[in-house]
Amino acid sequence: MTKTDLSTDYLIVGSGAVGMAFADSLLTDSDADMIIVDRFQKPGGHWNLAYPFVTLHQPSAFYGVSSTELSNGKLDEVGLNKGLGSLASGAEVNAYFDRVMQERFLPSGRVRYFPMSDYRGDGTFASLLTGEERKVSAKKFVDATYLKTTIPATHTPSFSVESGVRFMPLNDLPTISDRPDGFVVIGGGKTGMDACIWLLENGVDPDAITWIISRDGWMLDRQNTQAGIEFFHHTMEAQARQFEAIAAADSVEDLFDRLEEAGVLLRLDKNVRPSMFHGATISQAELAQLRRITNVVRKGRVSHIGLNEITLAYGSIATTPNTVHVDCSASAISNLATKPIFQGDTITPQTVRSYQPVFSAALIAHVEATRETEAEKNRLCGVVPLPNHDTDWIRMMIPFMMNQYNWSMDPDMKAWLRSNRLDGFSAMVSGIAEDDHEKRAVIQRMKDNSMPAMAKLQQFVSTLEKSDTCCPTG
């Protein structure tokens, strides 16, 4: 097909949350022109294929783009998130990103959007509908797809499934029209938790649910991630307790015990020590619901589902032809490798603050617009690696704390953080009254323990690296 030549300042591939947050900050902080290319028909990335009952796992106040509020500013009054900041549904998130595109990006005259297009590399993309190719000459290339989010709807399981087995992604749960013998939920991550909670909320007996968990994971208490000064003694107190726990720990195992005791980390079963950490965030009410399920299978990964038996790495369990098997085994992020965010004319957004990819993308765009040298940009945007194993919590915390320190030493970054709605915490701290000695004491505890905590984390990482060298896990 005919190739059309285009030119722009920034070619952004991906109009998911990361690409949208990056473009939004660039609109605010520069006069740059942008072209955004995406395979979906509307912005939002994986949200276009999300399961129908999905919601955000962290408060809406911390999600979306910097310029446009997503949260309604209210606390949930009913349900398992009662008393905490509202969690936007998938439908709300999709409508939000479409509104940002239609009401902010396109009217600016500085954003050209090409949905339903396949990026083929080297500045070339083609329409999925017409096949027409277009070649873009851009000063900078932004890969907003690098983290490669995977979703249940398009996931190919790593195990075999016998013909005739009732097997589905959790997207299809609301389509069930006849009563099955029971449910088998495969996957112990946040998707598996969502499936279990949805079943329980819809009246399924906990004894009718079998939950296969290959690895238990540490979780975060959503109460500790709230915006607004009224949650200061949950949010900031939790951070103070976190630093104190790190500073006082004398081993990796002791560290996790202290973090759990401090209410920073949660686990499903007090008798099972987690070996995974993905940053899953949950309310205490949701955790109580999950603990109602007693038939939890911990025999490793599934290798085969037959009509009457499920084979796992360390054994098997019985099933029936009329049992619904729910696939929740997709990993949210399939690419855990890191690279420098700024490399020549390529920008690869990754997390620069734990658990917050959209905040990270917004901050990266601000740094791109306001800093001159690549070295300075990368110094302010150290990659915080995405966690997988439990001990990755330790490896993640070091660059996270280093970034926070570097930002606190930079007047422009401090001002940006205070004014940016995706941050929230900086404004909370800066708003403390001089005579509010109770809140100031909490902040002082954080300051007093930050350096000892950093030293302890580095000590633990050194120990872990020696252990990996001596006894590689493969």
> What percentage of the chain reaches a pLDDT higher than 90?
87
pLDDT at 474: 44
What kind of architecture, by CATH, is found in domain 150-216+283-332? 3-Layer(bba) Sandwich (3.50)
Span 402-423, mean pLDDT?
94
Q: Say which residue, 430 or 265, is predicted with more confidence.
A: 265
Phi, psi of 472 (to 5 degrees): -60, 140
Q: What is the pLDDT of residues 38-85, one digit of tens each?
A: 999 999 999 999 999 999 999 999 899 999 999 888 899 999 999 999
Tell whether the model's pLDDT for residue 470 goes beyond 80: no
pLDDT at 334: 63
Burial of residue 264 (CB within 10 Å: 0-12, 13-18, 19+) is buried
Q: What is the pLDDT of residues 293-308, one digit of tens each?
A: 999 999 999 999 999 9
Cβ neighbours of residue 244 closer than 8 Å, sequence gap 6 or more: 262, 445, 449, 453
pLDDT at 429: 84
pLDDT band at residue 184 using 50, 70 and 90 as cut-offs: very high
- DSSP string covering 187-249, please? --SHHHHHHHHHHHHTT--GGGEEEE-SS-EEEEEGGGG--SGGGHHHHHHHHHHHHHHHHH-
Q: Which two tokens stand for residue 387?
A: 């966690």
Distance, in Å, from the CA atom of 224 to the CA atom of 58, rounded to the nearest integer, reads 10
Q: What is the pLDDT of residues 325-376, one digit of tens each?
A: 999 998 766 667 899 999 999 999 999 999 899 999 999 999 999 999 999 9
Tell whether the model's pLDDT for residue 434 goes beyond 90: no
pLDDT band at residue 2 using 50, 70 and 90 as cut-offs: low
Domain ranges of the chain: 3-147+334-380, 150-216+283-332
Beta bridge partners of 175: none
Burial 414-440 (b: 16+ CB within 10 A, else e): eebbeebbbbbbbbbbeebeeeeeebe
Asked if domains 3-147+334-380 and 150-216+283-332 share a fold, the reply is: yes
pLDDT band at residue 471 using 50, 70 and 90 as cut-offs: low
pLDDT at 456: 96
What kind of architecture, by CATH, is found in domain 3-147+334-380? 3-Layer(bba) Sandwich (3.50)
* Average pLDDT in the chain: 94
Q: What is the pLDDT of residues 110-133, one digit of tens each?
A: 999 999 999 999 999 999 999 999
pLDDT at 433: 86
